[in-house]
Structure 1
Amino acid sequence: MVNTVDTTAGASEGTAAPRPGYGQLLRTPGAWTFLLPGFAARQPFAMLTIGIVLLVQHTSGSYGSAGIVAAATGVSMALFAPQNGKLADRFGQRAVLVPGVLLHAVSVTALTVLALSGAPLWALFVAAVPTGASVPQVGPMVRARWAALLGSSEERARLLPTAAAFESVTDEFTFVIGPVLATALCTGVHPAAGLIAEGVLTLAGGLLFAAQRGTQPKPVGRRAGGWKRADGSERADGSGGSAGSAGSAGARVSALSVPGVRVLAVVFLGIGSVFGGMQVSLTAFAEEIGNPGANGLLYGVFAAGNMLAGIACGAVAWKIGPRRRLIAGYAGLTLAASGLWAVHSVPALAALGLLVGLFIAPALISGYTLIEPLVPAGARTEAFTWLTGSVALGQAGAVTAAGQLADAHGASAGFVVPLVGTALALVTLVALRSRLTPKAPGRVAARGMGHRVPVAVD
């Protein structure tokens, strides 16, 4: 009889040995060579939407128009991010990053010039498409580098959950700095300064990150009968992770073919609805009270909650699995978001925003942890970009809806968007939670990100 070790359980690993800490993770040889440029290159993800909203609202006077342009950027990024991830898996991260950041810098420049020249909405919409499509997927690429760096030995593999938490903390930290920086530049320097800074950071950080060739995962190339790595080694099933999680042997299929990845992609739309709804609604709220600068403070407090919760999640050796943590996190997020529309003072909104932020990081970390055993190594960047793209898509829809509601009914109406988005995602998660467990008949003990060949447990 063969028993299967559930990689989502988490309890056995938590009791077998103390969880490694951030200090041990950051002492991993080669880690800082991609962490520092990666941090600079991922800042634009947090600055782009708010930079567009503030610039277009300034030039057009409409939150609805600003939301439409920002949404076009988000939808474009959501559609193209997984394709960028596929190309990075197949040809290498550098081959995708270098032309991508160059195109992004040109597109942001065009969008800025059009907005300042009073171009019609359709022209801004057109310019927003390549702007979003070319956003570098640095976060997923950094996660893929951690997987490649840590998955080479059993000792290092114990650091994989810590790496997942650390990356979520880094993501949240960018959402503390990015919107505050963009808002300060737009309100204190020039309405276009936030978007210009976003383009410069993308170009500089992206090129520096791409230059770190030593830590990028080895690309895979397609050939008949299997997949061939750059070093000449092969895998018939194209994976180093969970069998059955990415299709049958001999054919490398998209990460989206995995049922659990599809569920998580839908669920992450709800997280995007929080980011988008909060950005527009907080901006509108600050305008309503006659203090535009309060927007950066309020969003910074909200994002600080994300970061603090992320730090705590990475430091805890959890006794419950990530699936249950994801459901609990979403339940708390929905409950906290339910009160946003009824708050009308800065201190109260800051306090509630902090509470909302505290539930986002656990949901993000749990989602990324769940996807790791589901997807083989050769499709890992693509899988991560599906989640990133879903957040962007949810953010795009929320920006549009919240902008229209804020124009028609005030900032309070815009805060309904995060509530609706998280509630729908929670219902989906509860209904389809069984698909988040890797189904691998007759196998395996897999650990971490599923980077090694699994071993049957008798």
Structure 2
Amino acid sequence: MENSNAQDQVTVISRTGFAYFPIALMARLPFAMVVIGVLTLVVSARGSVELGGFASASVGLGVACCGPLLGAAADRFGQRPMLLLAGAVNAVLLGVLAWVAFSTLPMWAVFFSAFLVGASVPQISPMSRARLVGIISSQLPAARRSRSLSSTFAYESAADEVIFVFGPVTVGLLATAFGAWAPVIGAGVLTLIFVTAFALHPTGAKAQVEEGTVTYVAPVSQLWRPTLLLTVIGILAVGMFFGSMLTSLTAFMQDRGDAEQAGLIYGVMGVGSAIFAVGVAWLSPKFTLRARWLVFALLIFGGALFLQTAHDLPRMILALAVMGIGIGPLLVTLYSFGAHRTPAGRGATVMAMLGTGIMVGQSFTAAVAGVVAEHVSTQASLLLPLLAATIAVAAGVVNWFLTPAGPEPELG
């Protein structure tokens, strides 16, 4: 009985400590700065928006190729050694990229350097989610796991929203104050400090397998289950939305002579998204995950449709506000699906797959939106967020038929 009462007092914060959350928040800031920072760097150094977009896409390609492998390495060897190695390598490569961009080396060297940066990016968000899911599934009472999971993913998604808003703002401030090289170098410095702190936090050790124990790890083939792959497609659509929306909004504001205000206007969506993401924790369990996916994706789709009529700033702000209601809760829902559909012993791998989906979608659509805005029109680039929303809705419809009715099974 005493043991049961003690377990009832266990909370996520009691297991992580209060310092964990600000460390994890700052450690993910470089991740949010890299895509826009590389774009800014290459545009300034090589004088071409197109080349800058392709460099950003090279970062995304690197993440796509190696992000899930880093997650698998974390599952195999523990998060701490993987993060310490990746953080050190990534910080050095960011400095190399800054030098190569302003050198006389050909563009393929810039693209290759950008690819290596993406390949070595320490994916803090997936690692943090994997740690917290592990704590919830192994140390909290079964009756509290579902709500704790929802609350945790709500916080994590809100944190991502804040970082994805302040990442571009930080890039803009550093570039304005010191030059186009500063955001990339700044990301490297932040990586060394905060990724190292995140790796050395006690939860990094807890995420590893205790010596002498044998833990079942599901075969790699289980990562290719249709329901899990569908979740990755859904989160890829969210990344596509982020990248295309920020780039097309920048073009929209540039047409009005206020390109530097794009980050602030983008914040209208980001702030609303973070608020509604936190609110997901209070939704009724009767509002199932498969229903939430469809409802929130349709909200984004509706806002993206209205976006096509945004020929002035007030309409743009209204469209962003509507889409913000759906994007944060959809992220929470998709990560919840990812946690429930994770094969045994593959938590970091799955969270890395989802984090990679966001980064890849953001990188490639940012590049495509830049090319479309420059060579076709800003209005044409605004169709890309609508395309991303359409993919999210379509994936939600398929998920509806693949997911049994009722709530997802409990973790653990």
- Alignment TM-score, normalising by the size of structure 1: 0.81
Cα 1:364–1:216 change in 2 (3 A) is farther
Other-structure match for 1:364 = 331
Give the drift of 1:119.
Answer: 4.3
SS at match of 2:311: coil
Q: Establish whether residue 174 from structure 1 lines up as the match of residue 172 from structure 2.
A: no
Query: Which one of the candidate residues 110, 117, 132 is aligned to 2:103?
Result: 117
CA deviations 1:403-433 (Å, max 9, x no partner) are 1101112322222111112213322331343
Pair 1:230-2:210 in alignment = yes
Deviations 1:167-187 (A, max 9, x none): 111111111221212122223
2:86, 2:120 within 8 Å by CA — same for their partners in 1?
A: yes
Matched AA of 1:47:
M
| Contact 1:255/1:382, CA 8 A, preserved across alignment | no
Q: Contact 2:290/2:396 (CA < 8 Å) preserved in 1? A: no
Which residue of the partner structure matches residue 204 of structure 1?
A: 193
User: Structure 1 318/211 Cα, relative in aligned 2: closer, same or farther at 3 Å?
Assistant: same
| Distance in 2, Cα, partners of 1:25 & 1:288 | 50
Residue equivalent to 1:399: 366
Tell me the amino acid that sits aligned with residue 326 of structure 1: W
Mapped to 1, the partners of 2:252 and 2:47 lie a distance apart of 15
Q: CA separation in 2, counterparts of 1:206 and 1:348?
A: 39
> Does 2:351 align with 1:384?
yes
Output the CA distance in 1 between the equivalents of 2:104 and 2:271.
Answer: 35
Deviations 1:363-405 (A, max 9, x none): 1111111122222441011111111111122112212210110
Count of aligned pairs: 401
Distance 1:183 1:260, change over 3 A: same
2 CA distance for matches of 1:428 and 1:265?
10
Aligned to 2:279: 312
**TM-score, length basis structure 2:** 0.90
Q: What is the 5 A alignment of 1:56-71? A: 56-71=42-57
The match for 2:4 is none
Please give the alpha-carbon distance, in whole angstroms, between the structure 1 residues aligned to 2:368 and 2:357.
16
Q: For 1:317 and 1:433, how far apart are their aligned partners in 2?
A: 18
Q: CA deviation at 1:274?
A: 0.9
Which sits farther off after the overlay, 268-277 or 304-313?
A: 304-313
CA distance in 2, matches of 1:337, 1:195: 31
Question: Which of these residues, 168, 171, 191, is aligned with residue 180 of structure 2?
Answer: 191
Corresponding position of 2:28: 42
Specify the alignment match of 1:11 in structure 2: none
Q: Secondary structure at the match of 1:388?
A: helix
Counterpart position of 2:235: 268
Residue 446 of structure 1: CA displacement?
4.4
**Equivalent pair of 1:66/1:403 in contact (CA under 8 Å):** no
| Structure 1 pair 207–297 and aligned structure 2 pair: CA distance change class (3 A) | same
1:52 equivalent to 2:41? Answer no
* 2:303 alignment counterpart: 336
What's 2:264 paired with? 297
Q: Which has the higher helix share?
A: 2
Q: CA deviation at 1:255?
A: 5.1
Q: Tell me how far apart the structure 2 counterparts of residues 280 and 383 of structure 1 sit (CA, whole Å).
A: 28
Whole-angstrom distance in 1 between the partners of 2:306 and 2:46: 31
Question: Retained in 2: the 8 A contact 1:330–1:359?
Answer: yes
Q: CA deviation at 1:278?
A: 1.7
Superposition deviation, residue 62 in structure 1: 2.7
Unpaired runs of at least 5, structure 2: 1-7
Deviates more, 1:408-417 or 1:161-170: 408-417
Deviation at 1:34, TM superposition (A): 2.6
Map Cα deviations across residues 126-166 of structure 1 (whole Å, 9 max, x no partner): 11111001111111111121122223131653522211211
* Shift of residue 265, structure 1, vs aligned partner: 0.9
- Separation in structure 2 between the aligned mates of residue 365 and residue 63 of structure 1, nearest angstrom: 33
Q: Assess, with a 3 A threshold, how the Cα gap between structure 1 residues 138 and 377 changes in structure 2: closer, same or farther.
A: farther
CA contact (8 A) 2:98 2:181 kept: yes
1:102 is the counterpart of 2:88:
yes
Query: What's the secondary structure of 1:338's corresponding residue?
Result: helix
Please give the alpha-carbon distance, in whole angstroms, between the structure 1 residues aligned to 2:50 and 2:135.
45
SS at match of 2:28: helix
CA displacement, residues 242-290 of structure 1 (integer Å, 9 cap, x when unaligned): xxxx5xxxxx335522221101111222111111112222222232222
Q: Counterparts of 1:309 and 1:27 in 2: how far apart (Å)?
A: 22
For 2:263, the aligned partner's letter is: G
**Contact persistence 1:179–1:299 (CA under 8 A):** no
For the structure 1 residues 420 and 368, does the alpha-carbon distance in structure 2 shift closer, same or farther, using more than 3 Å as the test?
Answer: same
Return the alpha-carbon distance in structure 2 between the equivalents of residues 196 and 357 of structure 1: 31
- Code of the aligned partner of 2:89: L
Q: Distance in 1 between matches of 2:221 and 2:24?
A: 25
Residues 44, 436 of structure 1: alpha-carbon distance in 2 compared, 3 angstrom cutoff: farther
> Residues of 2 paired with 1:156 and 1:302: CA distance?
31
3-state SS in 2 of match to 1:28: helix
In structure 2, what residue type is equivalent to 1:50?
I
Which of residues 112, 125, 145 in structure 2 aligns to 1:126?
A: 112
1:85 equivalent in alignment to 2:64: no
- Cα distance in 2 for residues equivalent to 1:337 and 1:118: 42
* d(CA) in 1 for partners of 2:42, 2:255: 18
Aligned-pair distance for 1:46?
1.5
Unaligned runs of 5+ in 1: 1-19, 220-228, 239-245, 247-251, 439-443, 452-458
Distance across 1 between alignment mates of 2:204 and 2:395: 37
2-structure distance, mates of 1:436, 1:78: 27
Report the counterpart of residue 153 of structure 1 in structure 2. Answer: 140
Other-structure match for 1:226? none
